[in-house]
Structure 1
Amino acid sequence: MKKLFSLGFWELIARLILRNRITVILGVILITIFFALQWKNIRFTQKEANLIPADDKVNVDYDHFLDKFGEEGNLILIATKDPKLFTPKVFQAWSTMMQNINKHKEVDLVISVDNLKTLTKNDTLQSFQLTNLVNPNKIQDPKYLQEIRTELLQNLPFYEGLLFNKKTGAIRSAIYIDKKIVNTKARKDYILSDLIPEIEKFEKDTGIDLHTSGMPYIRTLNSKTIIDEIGLFIGAALLVTGLIFFFFFRSFRATLISLIIVIIGVMWSFGLLGLLDYEITVLTALVPTLVIVIGIPNCIFLINKYHQEYHKHSNKAKALQRVITKTGTATLMTNITTALGFATFIATNNVLLTEFGVVTSINILAIYLLCLLILPIFFSYIPAPIPRHLGHLEREYLTSFFQWIVNTVKYNRVGVYMVAISLLIIGMIGIHKMRISGSIIEDMPKKTAFFEDIRFFEKEFDGVMPLEIMINTKRKKGVMKLSTLKRMEELEETIMEIPELSKPLSIVNLVKYSKQAYYNNNPDFYELPTAQEQAFILSYAKNATKNSKENLMKSYVDSTGQYARITTFIKDENGEKMEEIEARIRAKADKVFPSPRYEVIITGKPSVFQKGTHYLLDNLLSSLLMAFGLTAGLVAIMFRSFKMVLVSIIPNLLPLLMTAGLMGFLNIPLKPSTILVFGIAFGMSVDDTLRFLAQYRMELSRNDWKIKKSVFATFDDAGISMFYTSIVLFFGFSVFMLSSFGGTVALGGLVALTLSFGMLSNLVLLPSLVLSLNKTLANQQEFLEPTIDILEPTDEEVDAVEKKQTDQTP
């Protein structure tokens, strides 16, 4: 009864589609126009990916820091090691460049050797005055410039690590952009349209190569690369999948309509992003390509079924109707399982992954709907397939390949299990070798100039990734008390002992510089004042920090004087050591700033990112378990058999473990991009399992419940589609390996590899398990009457329904 109802439903759908072809096509066109109109709402993200929920303590602490001190990632750095900088022509060009940069409204402050300020004591005002280090009237004198260089490197320890490296002579300028535009499009426009041309002009005029970095600069060029690669992925995916499709079917028209379908799907995917007001991120940028990679296998499955039906009876109308009637429920359920695989990301409680899960799952169902509507209509208008188009059903290489599989399953199942167990053991060993990466830049394009510049700054200035420490003294003006400054200095000494961190910056540096200035800029006095000196030196320092835009330290004490900030920089390659580094700082901070008198928060983008990676790993493992559970539940509902649940899970679990083990052996770390591999691959690989089991269930009814005969008959029908779709998915995901982003390369390569393992597992291990676990299947009445029937009906059943509906037609 259930089967007749199901057949009747899909028979009705088939009739509606084929009898209302113009209406359906107009509907698709109107929906496409609607989504195209939403493109105007598409926005590209201007922020880094935050992998932690907003209410998590890590984010709460980070937001508290931003509330007190504003956006921390507003520093752009320009540097050179070329000694020609201190020659008249080059120094003049450098000074002109910095002045031009400082003129832009997007820039708050530029600190450079040409406009550097030094503290000078003014006894009359009991304050320090900011005076220029460089006299612009003397910069044409080479000797004077060398004196300036010597003064900078030897007598101004305050600027060491900030503006110069005393050991190598590297010099840099610090550009602080307006914090209000750091996370807006204005930041990108300024850097691409104004800053970079200014730098390129200097390089052209002087012949000196500059190195540019800092979080705003890195983020801008990184997002620009993401945008540039969207078109590359879409074009490459269309080309690769189109060529493979044509190789399989040898039909230009079938290839063309399949490409048109996925192009419409791509248009819908962009429109959906605009409709939902989602930003294009490093993840959602992959969605249009995923639509192509997933859509083409749907086309392959339906066209292959159409050719099989036509090959049986040479009746085109009948073949088109039966494509929908026979495969309707099966294709719907397999697309639902794929969508569920992506939808599990929604449960991670993370905005980035939630949006990715929502968009991909909706688009997977949308591309299925497009295939179901357009393909039968298209083939109804064109001539019936010719023998050349049907040749793929009996190709020699396929015949040989499937004969090898049949022989292996038939005569060597013990060998199959031994190989599977061996691969499982190897995978488990490899998993123990896996490491978790906390690197922000590891996935960035390594062949670009801006990535090389990051390495330059890490070598010369110990990194560009800020680690922030915020100290709450719990009393107004508590920061400027000498006791607090000494505590901060003690904590900074511990920071300087950590080789992975740079020299820290804080109000302590300014107070030390104040004492040096008080003693006529003698670098020997670069230290905190004594108890006897504090009264007059601290008063000088406080007066010097009032209402001065050029005051470098104004960002290191809040307006109430209650909160202090210590900034240090960490090399990105040390992201994996973040927990150890933070633990060491925390231990010292708890000692010198005892609770509850003080509160110390350790935060910053590297810290948030590293903790986000761990959070993502925990949640995606939970999501993967959820995907297993959903699949197991679906199989249990469909087949009402615990054995079939095991049969469906094991062949899809093994490829995931093999891939994880391979990552361990190849030293590919777990990071946001590679963690996604497992959820995506499982959601797509399980489709083949369900298709095989559905076909197997149908063959059982055809072959009088003879298990062996049914299993091997399944290869003749479902095997070809499984092979074709797996090949397309392999090469489709391999397209992502064209990316310059390491994470995208790893994602594409690992998913492709996992799906290849999955294909072999579903074609070899799955039937072996079916044969071994279901020896008494014919006696399992609950399996014979599944709760949800996704099985392909027999020709006799379809004929019966068609005859019944024909008889009811007036």
Structure 2
Amino acid sequence: MFKLFTKDFWDVTARLILRNKIGILIGILIITILFSTQWKNMRFSNTEANLLPDDHEVNITYNNFLKTFGEEGNLVIIGVKDSTLLTVDKLNAWNKLADSFKKYKEVETVISVKDLQKLVKDTLHQKFELKPFIKDSVNSLAEINELEDELFNKYPFYDNFLFNKKTKTIRTIIYLDKAIVNTSARKEFILNELEPKIKAFEEATNLDVRVSGMPYIRTLNAKVIVDEIVWFVLAALLVTSLIFFFFFRSFRATLISLVVVCIGVMWTLGIIGALNYEITVLTALIPPLIIVIGIPNCIFLINKYQHEVKLHGNKVRSLQRVITKIGNATLMTNVTTASGFATFILTESTLLKEFGIVASLSILGIFMLCLLIIPIIYTFLPYPKDRHLEHLNKRWIGGFVSWMERMVKHERIAIYSVAVVLLIVSIIGIYQIKISGSLIEDMPQDSEFVNDIRFFEDEFNGIMPLEFVIDTKRKQGVMKLSTLRRMDELQELITEIPELSKPISVVDLVKYSKQAYYNGNTKFYQLPTSQENSFILSYAKNSTSDVDLLKNFVDSTGQYARITTFMKDIGTDKMERIEEDIQTKVDKLFPKEQYNVTMTGKALVFQKGTTYLVKNLAISLSLAIFLIALFMAYMFRSFKMIIISLIPNLIPLLVTAGLMGYLGVPIKPSTILVFSIAFGISVDDTIHFLAKYRQELQANNWKIKTSVYGALRETGVSMFYTSIVLFFGFSVFTISSFGGTVALGALVSATLLFAMLSNLLLLPSLLLSLERSIANKEVLREPAINIIPEEDDTDEVDSNI
């Protein structure tokens, strides 16, 4: 099968491409139209990024919880911290705003101050009744003062639920219909109904309303992603085209390259739609990535064409050589780049699999487009003008190449010393890297909705749901007093943890029932004794309202109970310590033969997913290294050449990891991609250099030094050009408002810059230092794949083209 990579194959390929110009262009047009018809299938993710495999224990636990109690992330919270809210007009307006949301089909229920009710004992009928604190509206300041006294001092059941009695912050909770939480209907309701109503209320009352809750955060975050895709693509096009024009000084060449990468982006979007994948924070990065990776392909092909035209003036021969000489090299480099992305396919995370599939297919697609479109278009264009070829004679780049040659020739000890020092310092930095399980760390930190998250964290200790499920292993086991007491002790521990909000469960409802049984006396807000329990339960059984409240905390069989709390956005390390403390308490309180207690919730699933990704980082990077090592082994058939080729590419990765440790950039879903992406791209320079080095060896009768310097001079310019494009191309991501995307762009850019210097300084130094052990004709004379075919001025020009 590898005969495909022989010179004959590329000669045939060149003839086929140049003889069938119109047919190929029509074919590309048809494929592009077909891909464009798939754009309608693209949709933005309506759920949080689940980084865990579907069969992971944490996912199974969470899905079981959802089956028992339903969607827990359906709360939208609006709050106000303003003393003027507790005036007649503004409090009535606040309650009216809450009532206005009840008419929407997307809303399941709304709980505001007006909806709070007292649990009152009806002695005559021996049941509990619910009576509202506010019947219709408040009419005087005296009523408000009475309401404050009752809520803040007499009914601890509601404490820290809708208000913070210390700061007088009041909030309203909107429960969305669970059926629409993970659909586009949620987005339409929040953007088209909720937000306009809140803005109108703010203008009418001059109050600053804070909005949060997982559905709201997800909607606003997705909106930012959508907006940024357009900016990323435009910025990538602008930056890469400017650099391209700076190198070539040709509007024609720049325009051709832009057309190619734009079609590549259209294909990428078509692939996403055809595979019916969602656009996530990861797949949103692929279109600009294709632009950044596609432009270097254009540079190689157009530069070769112009070089050949200048050399002999024959346009057809030049275009044939573009395909035969550069086609194989660009194929190999694109395959290694695609391999770096493709390693994510082998992970068990659906999110990473989809990213890997789309990215690797898109990279191979942009290679095909470059190889087909650029030579074909140039067949229709006139010869390049002299000013278009001036860049081939630039002197400034020669100074850079001469400096590298001097360093390799005279300063190898200094190069090795710097490499060793960087290696040691980087390893120290690596030990300082932290893992981040923060759900909002990568969100736009200056955005209003992130500021609102921090507001609710300060006022109510967070908005991210954390759930505890108590399985009593028997029907009606929850309402046994021994179970309730154990749950109460667990809730006391949760209350003492500053990162968690006050929990709520059936325990609080039972305490409230006892308080109501004793006519609202706050001293009796506690669990009943065994004797009291029978009396109170008899009242509860006669109270339909009480049963309605109970269904939110206990399943229909009475076997499962939930304790709901909310957590602040905290890191993985802190969350793991909290989890350990709680688990220790659970093990003491709940005998395993009687109870099964599990912790779950969206925030916990995300944090566990981040930890899972760290393990997959090592796997995916190892796979990338292994695949590329296999490729090197087949190409050069030498174990020593594998080691020499990997060293210059591994050191930049270690330096980048060290930088992350020193700069406090944590390992998280976004930054975890850096290493595989950078390795897949940076190894391209190594392939180009070693392939040219082998060619120089044959041309110079196996003279090592002459061949190394010749390869350095020949490839140094193209490496510099492509590295500059990649550096500034990936830097485009630093304009993002997402911290993770900024870190991804900056880290990949830095890694590729280190990789260029490593391949141009360290790699030739290693070849010179180890020349005796590696430079033998048996190893390098006949490679399995001839990446850069031998120069042959006798090749025939196809007269049919």
Deviation at 1:388, TM superposition (A): 2.0
Task: Give the SS at the match of 1:672.
Answer: coil
Per-residue CA distance 1:438-468 (angstroms, 9 max, x = gap)? 1111001111100000000000100111111
2:91 partner amino acid: F
Q: Give the 3 Å change call, closer, same or farther, for CA 52–771 of structure 1 in structure 2.
A: same
Contact in 2 for aligned 1:348/1:620 (Cα 8 Å): no
**Aligned twin of 2:598:** 601
**Aligned twin of 2:781:** 784
Deviation at 1:4, TM superposition (A): 11
Per-residue CA distance 1:317-367 (angstroms, 9 max, x = gap)? 211110111122221111100001000000111110000000000000000
Q: Give the 3 Å change call, closer, same or farther, for CA 2–435 of structure 1 in structure 2.
A: closer
Task: Give the SS at the match of 2:465.
Answer: strand
Per-residue CA distance 1:359-394 (angstroms, 9 max, x = gap)? 000000000000000001111211222232222223
Give the gaps of 5 or more residues in structure 1.
Answer: none
Per-residue CA distance 1:232-263 (angstroms, 9 max, x = gap)? 10111111111111001000000001000000
Q: Does 1:524 align with 2:523?
A: yes
**Aligned twin of 1:727:** 724
**Aligned twin of 1:56:** 56
1:660 partner amino acid: A
**Aligned twin of 1:755:** 752
Task: Give the SS at the match of 2:786.
Answer: coil
Task: Give the SS at the match of 1:102.
Answer: helix
Task: Give the SS at the match of 2:38.
Answer: helix
| Cα distance in 1 for residues equivalent to 2:502 and 2:129 | 26
**Aligned twin of 1:534:** 533
Task: Give the SS at the match of 2:343.
Answer: helix
**Aligned twin of 1:616:** 613
Contact in 1 for aligned 2:74/2:181 (Cα 8 Å): yes
- Match runs of 1:124-139 below 5 Å: 124-137=124-137, 139=138
2:709 partner amino acid: F
Contact in 1 for aligned 2:300/2:326 (Cα 8 Å): no
| Cα distance in 2 for residues equivalent to 1:545 and 1:212 | 33
Q: Give the 3 Å change call, closer, same or farther, for CA 636–575 of structure 1 in structure 2.
A: closer
**Aligned twin of 1:670:** 667
**Aligned twin of 1:69:** 69
- Match runs of 1:376-415 below 5 Å: 376-415=375-414
Q: TM-score, normalised by structure 1?
A: 0.97
Deviation at 1:569, TM superposition (A): 1.4
**Aligned twin of 1:700:** 697
Deviation at 1:558, TM superposition (A): 0.6
Deviation at 1:647, TM superposition (A): 1.5
Q: Does 1:793 align with 2:795?
A: no
Contact in 1 for aligned 2:461/2:498 (Cα 8 Å): no
**Aligned twin of 2:103:** 103
Per-residue CA distance 1:468-498 (angstroms, 9 max, x = gap)? 1100011111111111100100111121222
Contact in 2 for aligned 1:470/1:563 (Cα 8 Å): yes
1:312 partner amino acid: L
Moved more, 40-49 or 768-777: 768-777
Task: Give the SS at the match of 2:124.
Answer: coil
2:115 partner amino acid: N
| Cα distance in 1 for residues equivalent to 2:498 and 2:546 | 36
**Aligned twin of 2:475:** 476
Deviation at 1:111, TM superposition (A): 0.9
Contact in 2 for aligned 1:694/1:792 (Cα 8 Å): no
- Match runs of 1:76-475 below 5 Å: 76-137=76-137, 139-475=138-474
- Match runs of 1:737-748 below 5 Å: 737-748=734-745
Contact in 2 for aligned 1:110/1:175 (Cα 8 Å): yes
| Cα distance in 1 for residues equivalent to 2:602 and 2:4 | 59
| Cα distance in 2 for residues equivalent to 1:786 and 1:575 | 49
Q: Give the 3 Å change call, closer, same or farther, for CA 388–487 of structure 1 in structure 2.
A: same
Task: Give the SS at the match of 1:371.
Answer: helix
Contact in 2 for aligned 1:343/1:358 (Cα 8 Å): yes
| Cα distance in 1 for residues equivalent to 2:610 and 2:152 | 40
Task: Give the SS at the match of 1:602.
Answer: strand
| Cα distance in 1 for residues equivalent to 2:571 and 2:122 | 44
1:362 partner amino acid: L
Q: Does 1:566 align with 2:563?
A: yes
Per-residue CA distance 1:40-76 (angstroms, 9 max, x = gap)? 1111110101111111111111111111111110111
**Aligned twin of 1:712:** 709
Contact in 2 for aligned 1:696/1:710 (Cα 8 Å): yes
Contact in 2 for aligned 1:293/1:732 (Cα 8 Å): yes
| Cα distance in 1 for residues equivalent to 2:28 and 2:783 | 35
| Cα distance in 1 for residues equivalent to 2:386 and 2:420 | 44
Q: What RMSD over aligned residues (CA atoms) do the two structures have, in Å?
A: 1.8
**Aligned twin of 1:506:** 505
**Aligned twin of 1:490:** 489
Contact in 2 for aligned 1:479/1:562 (Cα 8 Å): yes
1:51 partner amino acid: L
Q: Give the 3 Å change call, closer, same or farther, for CA 543–507 of structure 1 in structure 2.
A: farther
Per-residue CA distance 1:750-791 (angstroms, 9 max, x = gap)? 111111111111111111112222335443413211122223
Contact in 2 for aligned 1:80/1:211 (Cα 8 Å): yes
**Number of aligned residues:** 801
2:741 partner amino acid: T
Q: Give the 3 Å change call, closer, same or farther, for CA 2–51 of structure 1 in structure 2.
A: closer
Contact in 1 for aligned 2:32/2:267 (Cα 8 Å): yes
Q: Give the 3 Å change call, closer, same or farther, for CA 542–736 of structure 1 in structure 2.
A: farther
Q: TM-score, normalised by structure 2?
A: 0.98
Task: Give the SS at the match of 1:775.
Answer: helix
Contact in 2 for aligned 1:695/1:792 (Cα 8 Å): no
| Cα distance in 2 for residues equivalent to 1:56 and 1:654 | 34
| Cα distance in 2 for residues equivalent to 1:669 and 1:453 | 24
Deviation at 1:572, TM superposition (A): 0.3
Deviation at 1:573, TM superposition (A): 2.7
Per-residue CA distance 1:187-224 (angstroms, 9 max, x = gap)? 11111111111111110100001111111111111111
Task: Give the SS at the match of 1:555.
Answer: coil
2:266 partner amino acid: M
2:68 partner amino acid: K
| Cα distance in 2 for residues equivalent to 1:545 and 1:200 | 38
Moved more, 498-507 or 633-642: 498-507
| Cα distance in 2 for residues equivalent to 1:386 and 1:57 | 65
2:639 partner amino acid: F
| Cα distance in 1 for residues equivalent to 2:103 and 2:683 | 59
Deviation at 1:291, TM superposition (A): 0.9
| Cα distance in 2 for residues equivalent to 1:20 and 1:629 | 39
Deviation at 1:106, TM superposition (A): 1.1
Deviation at 1:397, TM superposition (A): 2.2
Deviation at 1:307, TM superposition (A): 2.0
Per-residue CA distance 1:145-199 (angstroms, 9 max, x = gap)? 1221222111121111211112111111111111111111111111111111111
Contact in 2 for aligned 1:511/1:538 (Cα 8 Å): no
Per-residue CA distance 1:66-106 (angstroms, 9 max, x = gap)? 11111110111111110111112211211111111111111
Deviation at 1:605, TM superposition (A): 1.4
The correspondence for 2:658, drawn from 661, 667, 677, is 661
Task: Give the SS at the match of 1:781.
Answer: helix
Task: Give the SS at the match of 2:530.
Answer: coil
Q: Give the 3 Å change call, closer, same or farther, for CA 4–457 of structure 1 in structure 2.
A: closer
